[in-house]
Structure 1
Amino acid sequence: MSALLEVSGISVSFDGFRAINNLSFAIAECELRAIIGPNGAGKTTFMDIVTGKTRPNEGQVLWGENSVSLLKLNEAQIARAGVGRKFQRPTVFEDQTVAENLTMALKAARGPFRVLWWKPGLETEARVTALAMEVGLDAHLARKSGELSHGQKQWLEIGMLLAQEPRLLLVDEPAAGMTLAEREQTTTLLRRLAQRHAVVVVEHDMDFVRRLDCKVTVLHEGSVLAEGSLDHVTANPQVIEVYLGRG
């Protein structure tokens, strides 16, 4: 089976610093993958390249069954192709309700004139309710998003990404700032989403990564240092040296 996303020989430098160094790996359809590594390992730059924010100096990024080059597309085109990204800090419209946030995020052809007269119908309301149930916010549809807890805002943003019908979700440090109960619910959510989407989680929290129970890619100095189960990579002497620390 061909990969959904294939990163091959990617390198990028900023002012002489090589942030990504001949990086190559692939993500399969409906795969849950965790990416870990020390600060400066290239995790954020990798996501910037895949989403079109940063252009590499060399290499290729291929997408889908037809191996479309994402490097030939802009950020909006990449998002429409099915790549969704959630940043660490949730960005929701806090003065709008959960339902309104999800409605605005729905994938639809809405030009400037259509927006003026567009009103949600029964189909839209059903879709919004389904999205809210997916992320555990169906009891909060009428609440202003600013009233939600940090974890609930994270789930709402994931719901807003799902509204765009992505094939790949890039999720940056979802566990940061969450309570233990929220972290457990987020683990369950991400594992469930990976049954229908490819999900790549960039995370520092090893306990959270262990609960994800998925393949782990360790980045160091812009390259893949190790790959495999969490037990496998954390037993690697190089990973212990550069990331986990001796002892």
Structure 2
Amino acid sequence: MSTLLEVSGVSVTFDGFKAINNLTFQIGPAEMRAVIGPNGAGKTTFMDIITGKTKPDDGHVLWGDKSVSLLSMSESQIAQAGIGRKFQRPTVFEDQSVRENLMLALRNKRGPLAVLRFRAGQADHQKVADLAEEIGLQNALNRKAGELSHGQKQWLEIGMLLAQDPQLLLVDEPAAGMTPAEREHTTDILVAAAKSRAVVVVEHDMEFVRRLNCKVTVLHEGSVLAEGSLDHVTNNDKVIEVYLGR
């Protein structure tokens, strides 16, 4: 299988603390991956490095068929190259409708001047309708985003990222604060998204991870401690010791 993203031998130190320690990670072009680990394992720093927010001290981060180095690119260049990130707290335009939020996200694919001149065409309206259906908000297109439940706001933000058609989607703890029904729907959205792009989900909720039914990477002290199916990693003695507890 070809590799979309390859992180190799990456280390980063903050004030003498090694947040990431010789980390190696690979993901293919249409693959779902869950990343788990205790607090302080380096999960957020790992995503910060991929998106250009943090530059490592050592190692390589290579992207796409041509193995372009992400380390020489700015955060905005990395986003334009096809990497989207969803933070834990949803950030949507609360005073705008669901439709307007999705339409604004579509505009982000254009340059600043093009955005000013942008007039939504039939194809744009169809894309927004398709996205709304994909995230389960087709009946809420005219509602203000601020009126949505926490879970619905999370779905809207995922939709806004999907509007930009990223090749890799990084999602931070999507299940936090959701009802069981919302968690189930979120699983469906992410599993569907991973059919056509790579999706990395950082999560603590083991039931949520189980439903994703994907390969799991366990981080500990900035390194990969174990990798494989959820059953494989949760039966690993080291993982039990440092993360799951006896």
Is TM > 0.5 for Structure 1 vs Structure 2? yes
Corresponding residue for residue 132 of structure 1: 132
Q: Which amino acid aligns with 1:233?
A: V
Distance 1:193 1:115, change over 3 A: closer
Corresponding residue for residue 120 of structure 2: 120
Counterpart secondary structure, 2:38: coil
Corresponding residue for residue 98 of structure 1: 98
Alignment of 1:44-55 (within 5 A): 44-55=44-55
Alignment of 1:218-237 (within 5 A): 218-237=218-237
In the aligned structure 1, how far is the partner of 2:116 from the partner of 2:242? 55
Query: How far 1:101 moved relative to its partner?
Result: 0.5
Q: Which moved more, 1:140-149 or 1:101-110?
A: 101-110
TM-score (norm. length: structure 2): 0.98
Q: Which amino acid aligns with 1:72?
A: S
In the aligned structure 2, how far is the partner of 1:108 from the partner of 1:239? 41
Report the identity percentage: 71
Alignment of 1:176-195 (within 5 A): 176-195=176-195
Deviation per CA, 1:24-80, whole angstroms, max 9, x where unpaired?
A: 010111100000000000000000000000000000000000000000100000001
Q: Which moved more, 1:125-134 or 1:47-56?
A: 125-134
Q: Which amino acid aligns with 2:79?
A: A
TM-score (norm. length: structure 1): 0.97
Corresponding residue for residue 8 of structure 2: 8
Alignment of 1:63-78 (within 5 A): 63-78=63-78
Q: Which amino acid aligns with 2:147?
A: E
Deviation per CA, 1:71-102, whole angstroms, max 9, x where unpaired?
A: 01000000010000000000000000001001
Question: Following TM superposition, where does structure 1 have runs of at least 4 consecutive aligned residues deviating by more than 4 angstroms?
Answer: none
Q: Which moved more, 1:63-72 or 1:124-133?
A: 124-133
Unpaired segments ≥5 residues, structure 2: none
Q: Which amino acid aligns with 1:108?
A: K
Matched, 1:35 2:44: no
Unpaired segments ≥5 residues, structure 1: none
In the aligned structure 1, how far is the partner of 2:80 from the partner of 2:167? 10
In the aligned structure 2, how far is the partner of 1:81 from the partner of 1:116? 22
Query: How far 1:146 moved relative to its partner?
Result: 0.3
In the aligned structure 1, how far is the partner of 2:34 from the partner of 2:204? 10
In the aligned structure 1, how far is the partner of 2:121 from the partner of 2:28? 36
Deviation per CA, 1:125-152, whole angstroms, max 9, x where unpaired?
A: 1111111111111111100000000000
Deviation per CA, 1:140-196, whole angstroms, max 9, x where unpaired?
A: 110000000000000000000011110000000000000000001111111111100
Corresponding residue for residue 147 of structure 1: 147
Counterpart secondary structure, 1:139: coil
Matched, 1:205 2:205: yes
Q: Which amino acid aligns with 2:150?
A: H
Query: How far 1:2 moved relative to its partner?
Result: 2.4
Q: Which amino acid aligns with 1:222?
A: G
Counterpart secondary structure, 1:100: helix
In the aligned structure 2, how far is the partner of 1:191 from the partner of 1:118? 32
Q: Which amino acid aligns with 2:109?
A: A
What is the aligned length? 245
In the aligned structure 2, how far is the partner of 1:211 from the partner of 1:95? 34
